[in-house]
Structures are given as C-alpha cells and as structure tokens.
Amino acid sequence: MEAWYAATLAADSIGEINVPAMSMLQGFISGGGLQRVTQLGHYYGYSTLLIGFWLRAMGQGGKLVSIDIDPKATAFTQEWVDRAGLSDQVQLILDDSAAPAALEGTKAAFDGQMPQLILLDSSHQYEHTKRELDLWVPAMDAKTLMLLHDTSTYARQFDVNDLGGVQQALADWGKGREAHISVMTINGGIGSPEPHEPLVYRDGCGLGILQKH
C-alpha cells in the first residue's frame, strides 16, 4: 500500500475513501464472513486492494466485483490488483455502475447470485445515484446491505449540478419505499469536514446503510 500511495501521488490521482468508512466495511465483511462483495466506483483502487486483501486473508473463497466507468483508473487499478496477487479475489468491470450490463456482469461473476454487500461510492451525482439505486436495490436479496458513502450535508458539494448529491438522492429515492428497505445515515447533518464537535464515527462525508427487507 505504501508503493500504491507513492504511485497515486505521482499520478496526481489521490481520491481514496477514508479509514472510518473502510473500518465499517471491514467489520461487515470480516464479521459476517461475506463472500460476495460489489463496489460501485473504485477510482484508482485503494478500497479495492484493501477489500481484496481482507477476502484473501479470510480464506473462504470470497470475491469482490468492482465497477468503474473510467478506463484510465480501471487500468491503473488492474495493474495494482495483479501486482498484489489478488486476481483470484478481485474482478474489475469497466462500465457505468448504473448500466444494466454492470449488474448482469456482476451476477455472472458470482455464478448467477447477487452480492451480499454493495458499496456505492461512484459519481456522487444526484441523478446517477438515483439510477444506481433503481438498478441495484430491487435486485438485492432480502437482508443484504448497501453502504453509501458521502451521505452528509458536507458531501452535497460533490454534486457538480448542485442537486444534493448522494444525500438528496437517497432521501428522494427512499420515499414510499419504507416497506421494502430500512435506511440509516451516520453523520448526515455534518456540514464541514472538520466539525467543532468530536465525532464518534470520524467521517465528515457521512455513511448510509441500506438493508433490503
């Protein structure tokens, strides 16, 4: 990972998800012994590599399918997946994470099954996030989870169209679907990356947890 940091710094491509969110993700994957994990948006591969390392260390044949629309970032990530010896644990798909083909490719990689956990951390755009939710949540199996990064008020600024980003997309999409899903957000009201009050979950970008009923 130290070499990966040096390479991404040199490529001016730093954009990794933060440690608190990854710690939560590790708890779900390792604590639940999950074997099928999907990531919507891997960028240059920080979280992809870490998840791959966890799955390999668990030794249960688990697999990560990670989807991203950026060919340069995906090629970079593939290089580091190969370098880390994670080809048995990680499969990358170059596609729009809101495209039906991405869902079908994921199911094919899991021998027709849906993932047990989905990490949504892709475009951060309102409309695109709603399309991802429209595609993936109805296909999820009961009791499985989706984690959505960047659900705080602070993270709304990541939406270039100023429509509210992941936070507003999740709120609007979830209306009327309460009988089918449960949703909670952590640090949703945080408006700054460095709030004055100490946080227990130290991620000002927020995290949403969605469970399919």
Give me the residues paired with residue 68 across strands: 94
* DSSP H or E segment with residue 102: helix 100-109
Q: Count other Cβ atoms within 10 Å, centred on residue 186.
A: 18
Predicted local distance difference test score (pLDDT) of residue 185: 97
CB atoms within 10 A of CB 71: 9
Tell me, yes or no, whether 124 lies in a domain. Answer: yes
Per-residue pLDDT of the chain (213 residues; tens, 9 = 90+): 888 888 888 877 767 788 999 999 999 999 999 999 999 999 999 999 999 999 999 999 999 999 999 999 999 999 999 999 999 999 999 999 999 999 999 999 999 999 999 999 999 999 999 999 999 999 999 999 999 999 999 999 999 999 999 999 999 999 999 999 999 999 999 998 776 678 899 999 999 999 999
Identify the residue whose tokens are 């936070």. 167
How far apart CA 151 and CA 149 sit, in angstroms, is 6
CB-based contacts of 91, cutoff 8 Å, min separation 6? 63, 64, 65, 66, 109
Strand pairing partners for 36? 63
Kindly state whether residue 206 falls inside one of the protein's structural domains. yes
Does residue 3 fall inside a structural domain? no
How distant is the alpha carbon of residue 194 from its chain centre? 22
- The predicted pLDDT at position 169 comes to 98
Q: Is 150 left (phi over 0), alpha (psi -120 to 50) or beta?
A: left
In a domain, 7, yes or no: no
Domain of 30? 15-212
> Whole-model pTM?
0.96
Alpha-carbon distance 158 to 167, whole Å?
11
Q: Is residue 9 included in any domain, yes or no?
A: no
Asked if residue 85 is part of any domain, the answer here is: yes
Q: Is 117 part of a structural domain of the chain? A: yes
Q: What are phi and psi of 183, to 5 degrees?
A: -135, 135
* Domain at 145, CATH number: 3.40.50.150
Distance CA 25, CA 90 (A): 16
Q: Domain total for the chain? A: 1
Does 41 map to a domain?
yes
